Structure 1
Amino acid sequence: MTASLLIKNGTVYDGTGAAPVPADILIDAGSIKAVGPALQCDTAEVIDARGHWVLPGFIDLHTHYDAELEVFPGLRESVRHGVTTVVMGNCSLSLAMGEPADVVDLFARVENLPRELLREWVGERMTWRTPAEYYTHLERLNLGPNVASFLGHSNVRLAALGKQRCLQREPVTDADKHTMGNHLQEAIEAGYLGMSIDMLPWHRWMGYKYNGASIPSQYAHMDEYRYLAGILRRHGRVMQATPNANRKASTLLLSLLSTGLLRAPLKLSMLASLDFKGNRALGQLPALLCSVINRLGRGNLRFQSLACPFELWSDGYNTPIFEEFHAGARLMNADTRAQRQQLFADPDWRRQFRREWLSVFNRSFHRDLTEMTVVACPDASLVGKTFSDIAADQGCDPVDCLLDLLAEHDQKLRWYSVVANDRPAVLRKILKRPFNQIGFSDAGAHNRNMGFQNAHLCLLRDANQYRDGLSVAAAIHRLTGDIAAWLGLDTGVLATGKPADITVVDPAALATDLTGATEINDPRFNGDMRMVSGSGAAVRQVIVRGQPVCRHGSFCDDYEQRPFGRLLRSQLH
């Protein structure tokens, strides 16, 4: 382990939003000992950051790395892009509680990972049964980045109610709520950030008997959410919430939980502030709600934002777009190709699919077949064409064409579309809103569908190139110190005495080297494909707790063989 480290000649952004200054940083025993000009230390290893930005390591406030962390605690696909802290346990899903088999079924469809792989990663490793025991377990892992977590409401319902009851929309008893409250209280005392809840119909259970059911958090009534929010409010902790995008009233009802009239405000971090192609009005709703709730209602409401185009890849029927409506979800629920063929041959199901596909109500994803392009198919002549192009060539209806191609090629038909954040100037305006939290990469989820691991770098690139969005200093603050302070994390700023979680960025490479998601066959996923993004030479150094873990894209030899990062416990009270 390096005892001392001296970063010299860099342009230092301290994470507070202050203007950058030329300075050196002296690090010893994992902490920053000094920040200033012309520092000297004869025993320190020197990193020359001339021409580069030196900034706090990025905090990704919305990931689903819970399962992957168990077997690959280095989380390389985020750390290589300068992330030094990840926040897990989002969307009501965590590993903190539940029977192992149930937890696998809870994660499989959302993560888009084979159940067999998740059983291998999680099933035999879950020896803990309580939130406190899970945090004790995390402290024993060879963490690469720092890790913090929410307690998943779906897991709490599983533990408190059992599988059958938690997957039914029935009111819970006072005793049930008391049991769930005790689990949450234990998590708060252990240092969890708070609790995550979920109403989004795209998130579904995978497994025998309950396949296709919504995940447990979605069956709760508002009084259950209010009860749990009250506990979080008393302790100053955070609720992460995913509302039902198809029912706008759910967003309003959840937002009202944050108000601070005659009570303490609740810290509420909600998904998501995006510029949806299929529903532009959704992009305006977060700004309106934050203005009303925070200013008039004295609340503490935030919306999470993605700082790059929302690109989505789909494998035949396997797509989040189909999760959004009943006929599509039925197709997703079909376990075998034979079952899917029965649906494709059923005229009643096809009529239902067409009616729901063409409906303009209750949808977030666009369903414009002129904007959906085939990128892989056994019939190579279709690659590069949209479904509308193919329908025109074949002289058939576009929706029928889509269904016929799905029936013929199943998951071998891979297609692509941009579903949100397709207008750069509008995106910069959205990201500039003061109540938006930037860092929603969803890393670890939907592994075959998307890859936003370098989204924070996209924000810095655009901040450096355009003057109608955030400044570079403000962008770095929003990705580091702002998130850390709001969540109660001991990281995110460069100051004497603070943990040395640092990223060194080359602004010249930042302008040229960032790439969108690409497919790789990851040996760590038993050769299965996953989507990852690239940053080339933009990130020169990643330092976690004073130790260089990634230099010029290469990880140190003992990475994942010993701990570098730490479990971060909330400091909010």
Structure 2
Amino acid sequence: MTDLLIAGGLVADGTGAPERTADVAISGGRIEAVGDLAGRTAARVLDASGSVVCPGFVDVHTHSDLTLLSSPSAHSKVRQGVTTELIGNCGLGVTPVLGDIAALRGAAGYLDLDPSVAWDWADLTGYLDVLAAARPAVNVASLVAHIPLRAGVIGFDDRAASPAELDRMCGLLDDALSAGAAGLSTGLMYAPLTFAREEELAALARTVAARGRLFSWHIRDYGDHLLDAVREVLRVAEATGCRTQISHLIAVGRRNWGKVARALELIDAARDRGIDVAADVYPYLAGNAPLSQLLPAWAQAGGEEAMRHRLADPGVRDRIREEWRDLPNGWSDITVSRIPADRPGVEGRTVADLADDGAGVALDLVAEFGNAVMMVAGGRSEEDLLAVLRHPATVIGSDGQALDPEGPTGAGVPHPRSYGCYPRLFADHVRTGRLPLVETVRKCTGAAAARAGLTDRGELVPGKAADVVVFELDRIGDRATYADPQRYPDGVRAVLVNGKIVVQDGTHLGERPGAVLRAGQGD
């Protein structure tokens, strides 16, 4: 007897095949059959008539490394249809832990929303074991993050890696890949990665390529030097043969609008030469990052403590102010989304609203709270966004986190993408006719899983894991806004992870059937 029959839905199976009305049979946590299954006996039947049935969304770009330990129910993600997360992006991560844990936690402040989460691990194996013991509601795969590698081996100074240090970093990386990491990520706008030379990136890329894994890049600049930053990625990819992903491909600042189309042309030319390079994007015109990302690289040298101490120097502040005169965005485009303190009237307001001296406010906040001050930054073009969404080589990644509005991770005014990325995509772009249903589903599922190297996810194909979303296309939509982001979406009827119903009619049932996916070890 079939465990569950999802009957009569419009099936978009994640492969790119045309949608069709069909039934989906699930047994033992796997897809048993897809087709006309009238007459099949099932222990439970879910009537999906009038709804889209597709694979669970594979979020290739997330930062839930620690929030899943704080709240493994993954409320903000699973309720919007995400069934698999790829963590460790943008070079921000939690392993390996070498030396000063406090310094590493400071560098990873973007991830570290709940101080009560203890870092009881030394390497990726230990971390994944802790994550598995937490029993998350979603499946999780992990990249190796560049910051812990470089900080642990070289430190936070502005210098090139020595040959011996490169060998050690590559050895640690290879150990993590052997332990099941899906690949490597870098974040070249975050200290100390701002100091990484191209030779270092190429050495790490060769290590990743030898294992056939993914190298994901938060590039050096998304503003005035976007095209130079993309060219750097392509040089390393071509020299090493590494499968490469450019993270959240956008252009910041009105004066840079239109550069995304030229970046896509560079990517197309590289793909024509046989380079395996692609990109991901999320459907919003504002991003989210630590406010400290705006500081020039020299001001971040030495780590978070040194940076905060440096900002007490009036001469340093004057130098930064001078460099900030030419920022692509103005202070009215930048909203303070989270600070680790009770400061009424700060979170949710733009820097320009907080004071006439926006630069002074920003410097004061970073000096006091370091990398833990979060911002939401606008200044992006809808035409650029549509160009990336429509490109055949791009997939969807939220760049968000699994948050719990009732717990420590629900503080502040986070970016709404953590609650509404995928519903927003289907409401704003599929229902309106901007994007076709089947291709959009593929970008969220089968194509995303392929980029991450996850062979058992992303397609409604017999034998594969039964991660499934059932949603009503005429109702699905995000309710999370920039001003009120902690709101769950509409129109998601059911979400299944490994054959278990986790969300039904908008209610989280408390199930936590997710698996920790280790590359080379079954997924």
What TM-score does the superposition give when structure 2 sets the normalisation length?
A: 0.82
Aligned residues: 504
Any idea what the Cα deviations from partners look like across 1:434-481, whole Å, max 9, x if unmatched? 2323214232699845231221222222332333x4311101101100
Aligned counterparts of 1:239 and 1:405: Cα–Cα separation in 2: 32
Q: For residue 149 of structure 2, what is the aligned residue in structure 1?
A: 156
Aligned counterparts of 2:450 and 2:361: Cα–Cα separation in 1: 52
Q: For residue 450 of structure 2, what is the aligned residue in structure 1?
A: 485
Structure 1 unaligned runs (5+)?
204-213, 392-397, 520-531
Distance 1:235 1:404, change over 3 A: closer
**Match runs of 1:154-553 below 5 Å:** 154-159=147-152, 161=153, 164=155, 167-173=157-163, 175-200=164-189, 203=190, 214-215=191-192, 217-245=193-221, 248=226, 249-259=228-238, 265-278=241-254, 279-295=256-272, 297-310=273-286, 319-320=291-292, 322-323=294-295, 346=314, 348=315, 351-359=318-326, 363=327, 366-369=328-331, 371=333, 400=357, 403=360, 419-423=378-382, 425-443=383-401, 448=412, 449-453=414-418, 454-467=420-433, 469-489=434-454, 490-511=456-477, 513-518=478-483, 532-553=485-506
* Aligned-residue CA RMSD (Å): 4.1
Q: For residue 93 of structure 1, what is the aligned residue in structure 2?
A: 92
CA contact (8 A) 1:96 1:130 kept: yes
Give 3-state SS (helix, strand or coil) of 2:267's partner. helix
Structure 2 unaligned runs (5+)?
404-408
CA contact (8 A) 1:191 1:570 kept: yes
Deviates more, 1:456-465 or 1:241-250: 241-250
CA contact (8 A) 1:312 1:416 kept: yes
For 2:291, the aligned partner's letter is T
Distance 1:107 1:282, change over 3 A: farther
Aligned counterparts of 1:389 and 1:444: Cα–Cα separation in 2: 29
Any idea what the Cα deviations from partners look like across 1:261-314, whole Å, max 9, x if unmatched? xxx73211122311423432542343132022211x32111122122221559x
CA contact (8 A) 1:94 1:155 kept: yes
Residue 357 of structure 1, CA deviation: 2.5
CA contact (8 A) 1:276 1:282 kept: no
Residue 62 of structure 1, CA deviation: 1.0
For 2:266, the aligned partner's letter is L
Give 3-state SS (helix, strand or coil) of 1:498's partner. coil
Aligned counterparts of 1:404 and 1:121: Cα–Cα separation in 2: 30
Distance 1:193 1:570, change over 3 A: farther
Moved over 6 A (4+): 325-330, 332-336, 373-380, 382-391, 404-408, 414-417
Identity of aligned residues (%): 24
CA contact (8 A) 2:7 2:48 kept: yes
Distance 1:31 1:94, change over 3 A: same
Aligned counterparts of 2:347 and 2:208: Cα–Cα separation in 1: 50
Aligned counterparts of 1:185 and 1:68: Cα–Cα separation in 2: 26
Deviates more, 1:425-434 or 1:92-101: 92-101
Distance 1:537 1:384, change over 3 A: closer
What TM-score does the superposition give when structure 1 sets the normalisation length?
A: 0.76
Q: For residue 78 of structure 1, what is the aligned residue in structure 2?
A: 77
Aligned counterparts of 1:517 and 1:533: Cα–Cα separation in 2: 9
Distance 1:100 1:28, change over 3 A: farther
Distance 1:325 1:450, change over 3 A: farther
Q: For residue 121 of structure 1, what is the aligned residue in structure 2?
A: 117
Larger Rg over CA atoms:
1
Give 3-state SS (helix, strand or coil) of 1:150's partner. strand
Distance 1:19 1:237, change over 3 A: same
